[in-house]
């Protein structure tokens, strides 16, 4: 019997990386998983790879920056399942640029995706939970960069710091509606996200490893267990928390 038996979980940005790993793990724990993102055909393929012991893996088209797209997707999911138990706001983009050269469009796209997308999805899902008077759980995927200021990441760091604050505000506001809101802030993870930055010469993995006490980059599968705990029935008193999983990155204080 899985820890999330009978639940319905939406994961945004689930076509690859951490989102895909979360979808696979939540399915293993007995949840139906809705994989939401912009590339419907890709999501369909990923759903075919997931074999939930119970429930199903279902793809839904959603651009988290577009309120119309978010609301249509949430409507479709509620029509299909009659409820939503868990939302994981995972979709996100990196942005590395000297601040003096950061184009307005790139600043806006980063904030729209990483922050406004989290708000729009949370708002749409919370309304459904409130209408049905059901308890629910929202998990925001933040980053250690919401805490650590890093040069050339003005938009990314700002977006993730704001996600941490949004997590706490919504947790405080919706606690009496039995909606818990928490964030997971990973350090560097082995996904296409950092693979692309490395290819573009914007990231030096070897020097990064020297800054991490565990001297290695994390794997998405090292994040999913905490998300299962946060979504599960043992975490009923956990809300408003931002939990770092980073190989010791944020604990380390020496240069």
Ligand X SMILES: NC(=O)c1ccc[n+]([C@@H]2O[C@H](COP(=O)([O-])OP(=O)(O)OC[C@H]3O[C@@H](n4cnc5c(N)ncnc54)[C@H](O)[C@@H]3O)[C@@H](O)[C@H]2O)c1
Distance of closest approach, residue 204 Cβ to ligand X, in angstroms: 14
Evaluate whether 252 touches 211 at the Cβ level (below 8 Å): yes
Please identify which residue in the block is written with the tokens 């809705």: 34
Is-catalytic flag, 156? yes
* Interacting residues of 220 by C-beta distance below 8 A, sequence separation 6+: 17, 18, 20, 21, 22, 189, 190, 191
Binding test (CB under 6 A) with ligand X, winner from 4, 10, 11, 18: 18
Binding test (CB under 6 A) with ligand X, winner from 40, 81, 193, 229: 193
126-185 residues in contact with ligand X (CB under 6 A) are: 141, 143
Binding test (CB under 6 A) with ligand X, winner from 2, 186, 232, 247: 186
Query: Which is nearer to ligand X, 6 or 195 (by Cβ)?
Result: 195
Distance of closest approach, residue 240 Cβ to ligand X, in angstroms: 19
Does 64 engage in binding with ligand X (CB under 6 A)? yes
Of the listed pieces 25-33, 167-175, 192-200, 208-216, which binds ligand X according to CB under 6 A? 192-200
Q: Give dist(CA 80, CA 96) in Å, integer.
A: 39
Q: Give dist(CA 250, CA 62) in Å, integer.
A: 33
Does 38 engage in binding with ligand X (CB under 6 A)? yes
Catalytic entry in 156, 188, 229, 237 = 156
Does 233 engage in binding with ligand X (CB under 6 A)? no
Binding test (CB under 6 A) with ligand X, winner from 40, 44, 76, 93: 93
Token representation of residue 181? 């809101």
Does 91 engage in binding with ligand X (CB under 6 A)? yes
| Strands 86-89 and 136-141, sheet pairing | parallel
Does 249 engage in binding with ligand X (CB under 6 A)? no
Distance of closest approach, residue 223 Cβ to ligand X, in angstroms: 8
* Count of residues that bind ligand X according to CB under 6 A: 28
Distance of closest approach, residue 84 Cβ to ligand X, in angstroms: 17
Q: What is the strand order of the sheet 32-37 is part of?
A: 57-61, 32-37, 8-12, 86-89, 136-141, 179-186, 242-245
Distance of closest approach, residue 165 Cβ to ligand X, in angstroms: 16
Binding test (CB under 6 A) with ligand X, winner from 9, 31, 32, 90: 90
Residues engaged in binding ligand X (CB under 6 A)? 12-13, 15-19, 37-38, 62-65, 90-93, 113, 117, 141, 143, 186, 188-189, 191-194
């Amino acid at each position: 019997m899985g820890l999330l038996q009978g639940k319905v979980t939406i994961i945004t940005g689930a076509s690859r990386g951490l989102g895909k790993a979360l979808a696979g793990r939540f399915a293993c724990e007995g949840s139906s998983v809705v994989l939401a993102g912009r590339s419907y055909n890709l999501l369909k393929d990923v759903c075919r790879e997931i074999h939930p012991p119970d429930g199903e893996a279902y793809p839904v088209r959603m651009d988290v920056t577009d309120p119309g797209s978010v609301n249509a997707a949430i409507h479709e999911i509620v029509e299909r399942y009659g409820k939503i138990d868990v939302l994981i706001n995972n979709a996100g983009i990196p942005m590395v640029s000297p601040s003096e050269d950061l184009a307005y469009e790139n600043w806006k796209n980063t904030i729209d995706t990483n922050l406004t997308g989290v708000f729009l999805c949370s708002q749409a899902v919370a309304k459904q939970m409130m209408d049905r008077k059901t308890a629910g759980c929202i998990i925001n995927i933040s980053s250690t960069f919401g805490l650590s200021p890093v040069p050339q990441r003005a938009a990314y760091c700002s977006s993730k710091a704001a996600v941490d604050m949004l997590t706490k505000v919504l947790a405080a506001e919706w606690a009496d509606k039995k909606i818990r809101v928490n964030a997971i802030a990973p350090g560097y993870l082995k996904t296409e996200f950092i693979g692309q930055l490395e290819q573009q010469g914007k990231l030096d993995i070897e020097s990064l490893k020297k800054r991490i006490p565990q001297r290695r980059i994390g794997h998405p599968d090292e994040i999913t267990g905490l998300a299962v705990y946060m979504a599960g029935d043992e975490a009923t008193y956990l809300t408003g928390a931002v939990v770092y999983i980073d190989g010791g990155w944020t604990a380390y204080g020496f240069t």
